[in-house]
Amino acid sequence: MINLDAIYVDVDDFCLLFEPQWITHLIETGEKQRNKLSYDLATQKTDKISTERQWLLYR
């Protein structure tokens, strides 16, 4: 069984480190963020991981 709580915590920890560095990089390089996230990055990535894992289990 997939433990989404544990995955979310791991992804959230990663995002807390990654997002500020990513935003700094975008500002320094003059790149623009392509789209605003409607919900936080950790939730978005956890949903993606869960969906892909379920697809692998049922194919």
pLDDT tens for residues 6-58? 878 888 888 889 888 988 998 899 887 666 655 677 788 888 887 776 666 67
pLDDT at 6: 82
What confidence score (pLDDT) does residue 37 get? 57
- Residue that the structure tokens 């990535």 belong to: 45
pLDDT at 34: 67
Residue 7 in contact with residue 13, Cβ under 8 Å?
no
Task: Give me the pLDDT at residue 4, please.
Answer: 73
For the chain, what are the domain ranges?
A: 4-57
How far the first Cα of the chain sits from its last, in Å, is: 16
